Structure 1
């Protein structure tokens, strides 16, 4: 192999590794936040690629020499990164779903704010929970486990994988888990507000001459914020449990892809 061919092969391998990391960073929380400049995201992907490059190089992967097959492999690697990033993103979806449920019961649905992380319209309580969870994950170095999971992906999913990921049943179950966990996360506040609504309804029936609805909305907001404040002490343990489940989903994805 000539020097030019050697340089071309190494550059081709670098681009393939970069493609997978770029796909993951697009969707993964923290790394893919809209507030993070594009140049920083590309720099992160490049730094991770430089670190992982010797590990992938040692496996001596087969890289197509023709243009069209190589472009197809690049697209495939981007899709692999997007699938991994999507599974990681489900942690964010759970928190936002719980926030949507709480906002609906507290009456904040009409006042949805712009998500500072992804720049889209999202529930206020979802924003609060997502920012709090992000700080918890960063303070406990949980993002290091996400990086380690991406590095481990090359042991299960080599460059240019010949098979498809787990069948659609796995992803259907993931969506079901997201809905279930979102309800569980938002149920303490949601349930307390439902009980308060029942109490207000009974009060309206016993004393219809009082205009309860003129004061019930601010009272519901204050009551919901109190319940949310009391549940913050358990929030860290809940986020830790969600993160462990998220890592389990990633491992199941890798193992199913390898088969």
Structure 2
């Protein structure tokens, strides 16, 4: 029975974290993989839950599912910040209309949005961050025992993490966006100086050219920032799992 609760948390984590399994991955493979990871991690997890009523067991199962979903959501925040940065760049560079369907999110995604996402995937697996994620799942059972909710005492921290990753996405996109705004200003000044110049014909190709040049130039710095995001993800997960032990003594009383 205890292994079943471990399976609920781990399967919910892999369900929420799309980075591990694309949307077209067979569900049977997801279930088998979750069972395998649950069996491997369950050996190292000490779970002591007294057999209670059916209602208590159902509540425990729901709580473990929510805990896994929250953990997966925190992992997804890293990639959402990258996709947001790419979306902002595309909006300013003029490529926001050239969007394609993204099967992972079941929504349309722009060119730079997909570009930043796939760079994030390469860096994620290149740094072996997936090993950090599995280790974080194992540590989560020690910090948040089975039967307790991660949201009760960590909702404020989760919102803080959401805001911080939102700011990171803006920081990644802001240099390119500012350069493109300056390009618009220079183009406007030139159009005022030369009355016969058609800004509509020159402005859009010029913005794309300048944007692509500066994106290529800033790519090493962007990759370095992405590395810092994933290196600190383990600490973010550990920090989001802090809670007051004194409150747990009367949680189910």
Q: Same fold (TM over 0.5)?
A: yes
Displacement of 1:173:
1.8
Which piece of structure 1 moves more, 31-40 or 177-186?
Answer: 31-40
Matched residues in 2 for 1:254 and 1:63: separation? 23
Task: Note the alpha carbon deviations across 1:194-226, whole angstroms, 9 max, x for none.
Answer: 111111111111123211211211221122111
Match of 1:9?
Answer: none
Given that residues 83 and 113 in structure 2 are in contact (C-alpha distance below 8 angstroms), is that contact kept between their aligned partners in structure 1?
Answer: yes
CA distance in 1, matches of 2:125, 2:61: 31
Deviation at 1:55, TM superposition (A): 1.9
Q: Which runs of 5+ in 1 are unaligned?
A: 1-11
Q: Which of 110, 113, 119 is residue 100 of structure 2 equivalent to? A: 113
1:244: Cα distance to partner? Answer: 2.7
Runs (5+) with no aligned partner, structure 2: 247-253
Separation in 1 of the partners of 2:154 and 2:141?
20
Q: Decide whether aligned partners of structure 1 residues 16 and 170 sit closer, same or farther in structure 2, where only a CA change above 3 A counts.
A: same
Question: Are the equivalent residues in 2 in contact too, given 1:29–1:92 (CA < 8 A)?
Answer: no
2:5 is aligned to 16
CA distance in 1, matches of 2:190, 2:66: 56
Alpha-carbon separation, structure 1, partners of 2:150 and 2:107: 34
8 A Cα contact 2:13 2:68, kept in partner: yes
* 1:48 to partner: Cα distance: 0.8
Aligned twin of 2:249:
none
Q: What is residue 123 of structure 2 aligned with on the other side?
A: 136
Q: Select the structure that is richer in helix.
A: 1
Alignment of 1:46 with 2:38, yes or no, is no
Q: What is the distance in 1 between the residues matched to 2:106 and 2:207? A: 28
Q: CA deviation at 1:35?
A: 3.5
Q: CA deviation at 1:176?
A: 1.9
- Give the TM-score of the pair, scaled to structure 1: 0.87
Offset at 1:191? 1.5
Q: Sort the Cα spacing of 1:35 and 1:188 in 2 relative to 1 into closer, same or farther, 3 A.
A: farther
Q: Which residue of 2 aligns with 1:198?
A: 185
Displacement of 1:235 in angstroms is 2.8
Q: Which TM-score applies when normalising by structure 2?
A: 0.89
Deviation of 1:52 after TM superposition, in Å, equals 1.1
How many matched pairs?
A: 246
Counterpart among 146, 157, 170 of residue 183 in structure 1: 170
Partner SS, residue 120 of structure 2: helix
Moved more, 172-181 or 156-165: 156-165
